[in-house]
């Protein structure tokens, strides 16, 4: 029997106008109702910002150093701590958007300036929010009437934009994710004193994309072929941007976002 969890953060959201991102995030949460923060994101305008902070602050503050030091105090392996933090960053930026891309052909902006994170009482990241709720979608998205070329007059107000093709959408997701993760990984590499290589961090991104693309069809009963095609297209684009997301040395990781 499925257990629906009444998550306090979700219950306290104040949504004044339901946007396509709200609807998509609700559908994503329904994939795993026992842990409703695993899939989907919050819209920052709907929330109190207690325990939330912009992900970009990792580049200008000691937040990542504090997270690293706290985790390192509990283990002798700096490499394991670095791998866990890299996996968390990969999941925050790209691992969360892949399920929506795979399932609905939609994506929010994964740019660094658009992402906020929520932390629990111990300072660990446990949810993600976006400042700009605008979705990029395929031209045949149901919002546009299911026919290429159709546009609702309220599309701008409803914060959804059609990109010309699946290739354009997956490339955009890869580009925005690459621009966000590159400085985050460089900062983590410095904080950890090179405990693992930056290329090893990118291998975790590859694992996150493959894992999400594989899991979503199992949960949603959707097309495995479509999901894997879109995930692989993101990986191909990341490789084109110079990110070594493929390789025999790809590390594996356990779940790092807790609820």
Give DSSP secondary structure letters for 77-114: -HHHHHHHHHHHHHIIIIITHHHHHHHHSEEE---GGG
Q: In this predicted structure, what is the pLDDT of residue 159?
A: 93
Q: 93-133 pLDDT, tens per residue? A: 999 999 999 999 999 999 999 999 999 888 889 999 999 99
For residues 69 and 243, give the distance between their C-alpha atoms in angstroms, rounded to a whole number: 27
The DSSP result for 13-42, as a single string, is ---SS--HHHHHHHHHHHTSTTSTTSSS-E
Contact between residue 223 and residue 160 where contact means Cβ atoms under 8 Å apart: no
Most distant CA pair in the chain: distance in Å? 58
Counting residues of the chain whose pLDDT is more than 90, the rounded percentage is: 77
β pairing state of 135-137 and 160-162:
parallel
Quick check: 31 and 219 in contact, CB under 8 A? yes
In whole angstroms, give the CA distance from residue 239 to residue 45. Answer: 34
d(CA 98, CA 105): 9
Structural domains of the chain, ranges and CATH numbers in brackets: 8-240 (1.10.510)
Averaged pLDDT of the chain: 90
Considering Cα of 171, then 37, then 192, then 80, what sign does the dihedral take? negative
Give the pLDDT confidence of 170-180 residue by residue, as tens digits: 999 999 999 99
Convert the pLDDT of each residue in 135-162 to its tens digit. 999 999 999 885 545 455 577 789 999 9
Average pLDDT over residues 185-200: 98
Q: Which two tokens stand for residue 159?
A: 């914060």
Indicate whether 56 pLDDT > 80: yes
d(CA 136, CA 106): 6
57 pLDDT band (50/70/90 cuts)? very high
With bands split at pLDDT 50, 70 and 90, how would you rate the model's confidence at 255? very low
Q: What is the pTM of this model?
A: 0.90
């Amino acid at each position: 029997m499925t257990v629906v969890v009444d998550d306090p953060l979700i219950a306290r959201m104040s949504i004044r106008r339901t946007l396509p991102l709200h609807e998509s995030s609700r559908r994503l949460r329904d994939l795993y109702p026992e842990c409703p923060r695993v899939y989907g994101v919050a819209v920052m305008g709907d929330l109190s910002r207690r325990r939330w902070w912009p992900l970009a602050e990792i580049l200008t503050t000691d937040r990542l150093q504090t997270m690293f030091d706290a985790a390192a105090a509990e283990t002798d392996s700096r490499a394991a701590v670095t791998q866990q933090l890299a996996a968390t960053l990969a999941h925050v930026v790209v691992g969360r958007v892949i399920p929506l891309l795979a399932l609905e052909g939609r994506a929010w902006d994964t740019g660094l300036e658009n992402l906020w994170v929520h932390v629990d009482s111990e300072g660990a990241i446990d949810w993600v929010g976006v400042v700009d709720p605008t979705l990029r979608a395929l031209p045949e998205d149901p919002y546009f009437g299911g026919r290429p070329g159709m546009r609702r007059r309220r599309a701008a107000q409803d914060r959804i934009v059609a990109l010309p093709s699946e290739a354009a959408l997956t490339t955009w997701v890869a580009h925005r994710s690459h621009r966000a993760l590159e400085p985050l990984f460089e900062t983590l590499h410095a904080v950890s004193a090179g405990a693992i290589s930056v290329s090893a961090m990118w291998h975790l991104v590859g694992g996150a994309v493959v894992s999400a693309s594989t899991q979503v069809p199992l949960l949603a009963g959707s097309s495995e072929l479509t999901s894997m095609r879109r995930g692989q297209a993101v990986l191909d684009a990341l490789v084109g941007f110079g990110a070594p997301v493929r390789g025999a040395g790809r590390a594996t990781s356990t779940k790092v976002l807790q609820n």
